[in-house]
Amino acid sequence: MVRSGGIPTVGLVLALSLGCQARVAPEPHGAILVELFTSEGCSSCPPADLLLMDLDRAAPAAGTEVIVLSEHVDYWNRLGWVDPFASARFTARQRAYAVRFGEASVYTPQMVVDGRVGFPGSDRSHALAAITEAAGQPKAKVVLSFDPDPRRAPGDPLRCSIRVEGRRGPASAAPAEVFLAVAEGGLPSRVLRGENAGRTLDHTAVARKLLDLGPTEPGTGGFTATVSVPMAPGWNREHLRIVVFVQGAGCGPVLGAAALALGGLGTRTNPAGRTFSPPSGSTSPGLPAPGPSGRGSGPG
């Protein structure tokens, strides 16, 4: 099934990204979390995967960072191809969003921006509009660092220090949870069966692990912790990043986020002179041209 997005293209100031190495997450005005629920078994998903990769390579220029997560669901696994990155945890997370958004079922590809809105994952216009709107929302400050050095022997746990500075105003008292995701990029995958049989698919920021670190402090919204994160032997540390985000209860709005790369990939800067603002209806450099917004009929 195909559904066309109903939101026109809006201007979004973007800057092309450059790789650099860091041990403390940057402190932008507010990071925006873009989640993509996807599956290697779904033929509508590859265009959405490419859009997510482009969003990952381009960052808004006005101090706002876009943090992406690719969450592979498992309900396509019974239809010919078992997605090696799929997890029931991400299926459950998508179902929680469906309940919150009032949707009768789940589908792929689905993109969710800052936990506030969901739409077909290859709908570029809707993605840019949602990111633009999310950029205007107040955010909690999330500080993430590695303690003391991420470059340890393969398999050693990674120690992360996390601090969330309390939210201000009435929102500070609202229940919220802190999550930590381990994401890996640079993951080509050869699909042998199913709707994408014979294709080699490229993935970025694939969620390998998602941990619930617990609630923020009642009344202040603050949070402080040092977490030991297990590392699987098959993960490539040079392509890993840690993503921490604060989210309202019941898969509510994302209230703050930060990301930090273990290697040289994934940390972005906004170089001067590389910004642009595409007019309405134009194609942003680095992003796919507008086209039909694929929505696979999710079997779940």
Residue 153 belongs to domain with CATH number: 2.60.40.10
Encoded tokens for 232: 């699987």
Give mean pLDDT, residues 44-49.
98
In this structure, of 12-26, 212-226, 230-244, 270-284, the range with the lowest mean pLDDT score is 270-284
pLDDT at 264: 46
Give mean pLDDT, residues 27-48.
90
Write out pLDDT tens, residues 77-112. 999 999 999 999 999 999 999 999 999 999 999 999
pLDDT at 172: 59
Beta-carbon-side half-sphere exposure of residue 73 (alpha carbons within 13 Å): 25
Give mean pLDDT, residues 151-177.
77
Higher pLDDT, 262 or 195: 195
Average pLDDT, whole number, for the chain? 79
Q: Is residue 2 part of a domain?
A: no
In this structure, of 9-23, 53-67, 119-133, 281-295, the range with the lowest mean pLDDT score is 9-23
Write out pLDDT tens, residues 190-247. 999 999 999 999 999 999 999 999 999 887 889 999 999 988 888 988 899 999 999 9
Q: Is the pLDDT of residue 266 over 80?
A: no
Give mean pLDDT, residues 119-146.
93
Q: Indicate the length of the chain as a whole number.
A: 300
pLDDT at 72: 98
Q: Is residue 85 part of a domain?
A: yes
In this structure, of 3-12, 39-48, 291-300, the range with the lowest mean pLDDT score is 3-12
> How many angstroms separate the CA atoms of 265 and 105, rounded?
35
146 falls in which pLDDT band (50, 70, 90)? confident
Higher pLDDT, 125 or 277: 125
Give mean pLDDT, residues 279-290.
34
Helix, strand, or coil (residue 161): strand
The answer to whether 71 touches 35, Cβ cutoff 8 Å, is yes
Q: Is residue 140 part of a domain?
A: yes
Q: Is residue 158 part of a domain?
A: yes
Q: Is residue 42 part of a domain?
A: yes
Domain that includes residue 144, residue range? 18-269
Name the helix (H) or strand (E) containing 124. helix 124-134
Q: Is residue 9 part of a domain?
A: no
pLDDT at 29: 54
Q: Is residue 164 part of a domain?
A: yes
Cα dihedral 68, 69, 73, 76 sign:
positive
Q: Is residue 298 part of a domain?
A: no
Q: What percent of the chain has pLDDT over 90?
A: 59
Please count the structural domains in the chain: 1
pLDDT at 299: 61
Instruction: Pick the closest to residue 240 from 120, 125, 146 (CA basis).
Output: 146
Phi, psi of 27 (to 5 degrees): -115, 75
